[in-house]
Structure 1
Amino acid sequence: MRKVTSLLPALAALLLLTACGSEQAGTPGAATSASGTAATTPPVDGVRITSVTIPSATPTPNSDGFSVHADSLPTGDSGISAAYEVTNNGTEALTYTILFDFTTDTGEVMGNSHETVRSVGPGTTERGTVRLGVLAPGASPVTRVKVSRVTKVPAVEAPPASGECPPSGIRLTTDDGDAAMGLRVVGLHLENCGKRDYSLDGYPLLELLDEDLSPIQGVRIVHGSGGISTGTGFDEPARPLVLKSGERALSGLMWRNTTESGAAVDVPYVRVRPERGADPVTVTPHLDLGTTGKLAVRAWSRPSQ
């Protein structure tokens, strides 16, 4: 008599494989496996994504041993992440700020995240992981992670980390800025985090730098609004200030991104000194000056209460 083989174990295995999804190995910045898929994306300014993790349904056998169901992800976490590495091929220690985009197959950005990697020495590689966190309600499925933008400054000129006080005792940072109808404003924030009083009288000193940290020529830096816009507080006169420990001062940059005839000018880096002789801090406001050729700077003042 011919032996009959049961089809139930094979059917259960087929169900498990179908529910687990598939991996897209070798696809730049793409994965559908919770265990991660190696990425072959080329480096962007020394930053390379090495693997991407995008969870799929995780099957768990039911009590009957044959059907499966999907386990849910932890509340408040998409589970989407990417491992990356930063390699400094330069000759001095650099601090990197990286913008990662989490996108669909068509390139639509569903979320992004900034990562700062500090003091990467020359010839060395640092590794880290960036996580998306929570996806917005109704967002399309994320299938890719890419390096959208990289800025890097000499480590000795990088803005301090949150809560860190530099040896100078002066913490200088920028905010995210504001934009409306082509008008751009970015705030410069200075805090005396040291123990001694700190005196200011006038305007911060600025150097505009290109992607290679070389000076950009042809842009006029004006004290006050320079006619760019009124009612912004930029035309308030400079007054002497003495900041005691823990006190703050505010300045700012203002410009329009109007583009007419001629080549548009973009300024990725600005080297700032709070006053003459002070240690420089290089910030990355990415000034899209268009063809205006003008940047306004506001005098140091105390923040309004």
Structure 2
Amino acid sequence: MALPSSSRFTWIAVAALFLFGGLESVVCFKYFSEQRWTAGIALLAAALLGWAFHRAVGNLAQEPVNTGPGPSPLAAGSDLAESLKSKISDLDAVRANLASREKMHLEWVAYLSHDLATPLARMLRRVETIQYDAAMNPDEKEETLELVHRDITELAEIVGSISQLAILESGIERCFKDMPLKPLLESTFEDFQYEASSRGIELDLQVPDDIGSVRMEKSLVKRAVENLLSNAIRFTPEGGLVTVSARRSEQTVDIVVEDTGTGVPVQELERVFNFAFKGEGHIRISKVGSLGLGLAMVRKVAEIHSGKVSANNVEPNGARFVVSLPTTS
């Protein structure tokens, strides 16, 4: 029979001798004192606990060490640090984006308050003039009522544009279909013939017959072209020209609206499609005044179709706006 190792056996033997008081005490249990019995049990328990701990540590020490391939603790710690840095960077980006959107929304509320208040204030003054100015003749009243009607139309356009932009931002599911582009551009072009001619502006349509189809939601693309045409006519002087054209490449179909108007200041070309953008100098924003909704809607429509928009000036004067949509696969 194998005996325990010397150190473990020694402690257990000492505990047993202390407990039983020697060999003679084993025979004469009646002579054990209560104090020696209690102390002996405690010492024996401690010895057994120490032996068990020593055995566990010994087994652990004899376990083979894995020196094969695998991430070391330092490498794992480095990976964790990099992961945390990446997460912190992502959170910072989200925070910056939220702050930017919050600022944009606050600015938009300020613009909205101003641009709604302006026609409302004009309407109030004109209605009060009609109501309280007894000296107004019928022709003056009719002229003032026409101005009130114009203010109401402007308000309706602002509210309608806000509603449509909110729908675009909602992210609702869209119904895309392969639609021929030329008929859409032709019908939109015809819708603006009267407005252009009444301002002394010539409209020109240049769309090849083989322009083909685009996968799109027709009503959205039509509204984007309407906004571009309205914007071009608004900023083109009498005797000017507005051209609507389209061209197809391997990857995109470009819808182009070009005018001979005031152009866009170079420093504003990158921002002119921004939501609630107010330009400086010769501002060119949308048919709904200074809210900047019209061109913002054009960009949103392009994004919904996985496309993009751009603006640049043309020589000797004027601006060119381009909506690029992916070709039908």
Both structures adopt the same fold (TM-score exceeding 0.5): no
| TM-score under structure 2 length normalisation | 0.23
More helix by share: 2
TM-score by length of 1: 0.24
Structure with bigger strand share is 1
